[in-house]
């Protein structure tokens, strides 16, 4: 199973960490941030979106990280109920809801506000800051009710969302008004088996990329 990835890409981190939780071995194909990397030509064959991560498993190619997480759980978690992606319809519905919240609000709003730091060497707009704050407020509220995002146990929703929050920490965004988020992030660091290997090892590299050091 091939995984085309960028080592400082939060969505790529999520796929790699879920793979580690399941004991899945990827044939890792690391792509350079520059578009002249020949691996981009390979990606186009599988994924017209030309984005990372791209997962290729036999004749299946997937180009969205959260779809990859769902696929990995369905295909490689075994027949038993798995706490990362519970089979109970109600429990799974909460996980799905949080994944959709991450896809539609949390990650894009964090990215949209913070990405000018490395693209333009300036802060994001006030409008985008307000939108990011709203998303963080929602997450803080979720976490005021349960230890993790979708309940009292770690799920793939947490693994996906922790990569979004890593971007905020990397960019030195002030999260002091979010004690629940901070406690949750610390818990995720301990619970996710490959956190240090996947995120911890790239944290300073991504910060250097963001701030041009």
- CA dihedral of 141, 142, 146, 148, whole degrees rounded to 10: -120
- 154 — pLDDT class (breaks 50, 70, 90): very high
- 36 — pLDDT class (breaks 50, 70, 90): confident
pLDDT at 38 over 90: no
Question: For residue 213, what pLDDT is reported?
Answer: 63
Q: Domain 89-211, what fold?
A: Glutathione S-transferase Yfyf (Class Pi); Chain A, domain 2 (1.20.1050)
How far out from the chain centre does Cα 133 lie?
18
**What's the N-to-C CA distance of the chain in angstroms?**
35
- 34 — pLDDT class (breaks 50, 70, 90): low
pLDDT at 69 over 80: yes
pLDDT at 57 over 90: yes
Instruction: List, for residues 170-182, the tens digit of each pLDDT value.
Output: 999 999 999 999 9
- The closest alpha carbon to 75, from 19, 158, 13, belongs to 19
Burial per residue of 64-95, b for 16 or more beta-carbon CB atoms within 10 angstroms, e otherwise: bbbebbbbbbeebbeeeebebbbeeeebeebb
Percent of the chain with pLDDT over 90: 80
Question: For residue 50, what pLDDT is reported?
Answer: 83
Q: Which residues are catalytic?
A: 9
Instruction: List, for residues 76-100, the tens digit of each pLDDT value.
Output: 998 778 999 999 999 999 999 999 9
The residues spanned by each domain of the chain are 2-77, 89-211
Question: For residue 42, what pLDDT is reported?
Answer: 84
- The closest alpha carbon to 35, from 50, 15, 49, belongs to 50
> How high does pLDDT run on average in the chain?
94
Q: What is the pTM of this model?
A: 0.95
Q: Domain 2-77, what fold?
A: Glutaredoxin (3.40.30)
């Amino acid at each position: 199973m091939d995984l085309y990835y960028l080592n400082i890409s939060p969505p790529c981190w999520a796929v790699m960490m879920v793979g580690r939780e399941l004991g899945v071995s990827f044939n890792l194909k690391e792509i350079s941030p520059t578009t002249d990397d020949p691996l981009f030509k390979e990606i186009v064959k599988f994924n017209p979106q030309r984005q990372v991560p791209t997962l290729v498993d036999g004749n299946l190619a997937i180009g969205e990280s959260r779809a990859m997480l769902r696929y990995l759980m369905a295909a490689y978690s075994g027949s038993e109920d798995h706490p990362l992606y519970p089979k109970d319809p109600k429990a799974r519905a909460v996980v799905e809801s949080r994944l959709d919240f991450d896809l539609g609000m949390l990650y894009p709003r964090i990215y949209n506000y913070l990405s000018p730091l490395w693209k333009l060497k300036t802060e994001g707009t006030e409008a985008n800051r307000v939108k990011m704050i709203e998303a963080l407020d929602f997450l803080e509220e979720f976490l005021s009710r349960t230890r993790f995002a979708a309940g009292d146990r770690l799920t793939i929703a947490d693994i996906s969302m922790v990569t979004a929050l890593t971007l905020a920490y990397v960019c030195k965004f002030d999260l002091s008004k979010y004690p629940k988020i901070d406690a949750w992030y610390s818990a995720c660091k301990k619970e996710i088996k490959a956190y240090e290997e996947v995120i911890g090892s790239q944290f300073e590299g991504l910060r250097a990329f963001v701030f041009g050091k």
